[in-house]
Amino acid sequence: MTIVLRETRPMKLKRKLVVMLTLTLMGATSMTDPSVAQAQSAPQAFSPTITGVMVILTAKAGVTREQVMAVMPAEIQETVQLYLGGKIRDFYSRGDGRGVVFFIDVRDVAAAKAIMEDLPLAKQDLMDHEYIAIGPLLPLRLLMASPERRQ
């Protein structure tokens, strides 16, 4: 019986990955298909919902590790306060070691900028910020639409 469980877990994972990839590709191809793009511009049915903003921070060119580390105690303290206050949903180190990624619990990029620009690293102009509004996976709406709207 243990062997069956080990065989089905990878299959479930593969199935989930295939479904996620298919939905993502459906969304990407639907954005390039003019007939679907026109349908998506219909009232509110397919407009994206913004549930947060992802902020990618990268040290600016020429900024040294020492410059960043001198500001880190204040940066960490203010970041933790924002997290405890519910403004920052999650934060991660970048895999390449060049910065961090924040998920800010706001509904637009302007609000995220206001939060991030008040942090010590931003005030010292040591980091570049990239802001990306995020929300639920748009192609999932296609699964929920009535059959006549999917065509």
In contact, 88 and 105? CB cutoff 8 Å? yes
* pLDDT tens sequence across 50-60: 999 999 999 99
pTM: predicted TM-score of the whole model, two decimal places:
0.65
**Residue 2: is its pLDDT beyond 70?**
no
Residue 146: predicted pLDDT: 67
Residue 138 CB neighbours (<10 A): 19
* pLDDT tens sequence across 66-122: 999 999 999 999 999 999 999 999 999 999 888 999 999 999 999 999 999 999 999
Residue 147: predicted pLDDT: 67
In contact, 116 and 55? CB cutoff 8 Å? yes
Burial 99-124 (b: 16+ CB within 10 A, else e): bbbbbbbbeeeeebbebbeebbbbee
In contact, 82 and 73? CB cutoff 8 Å? no
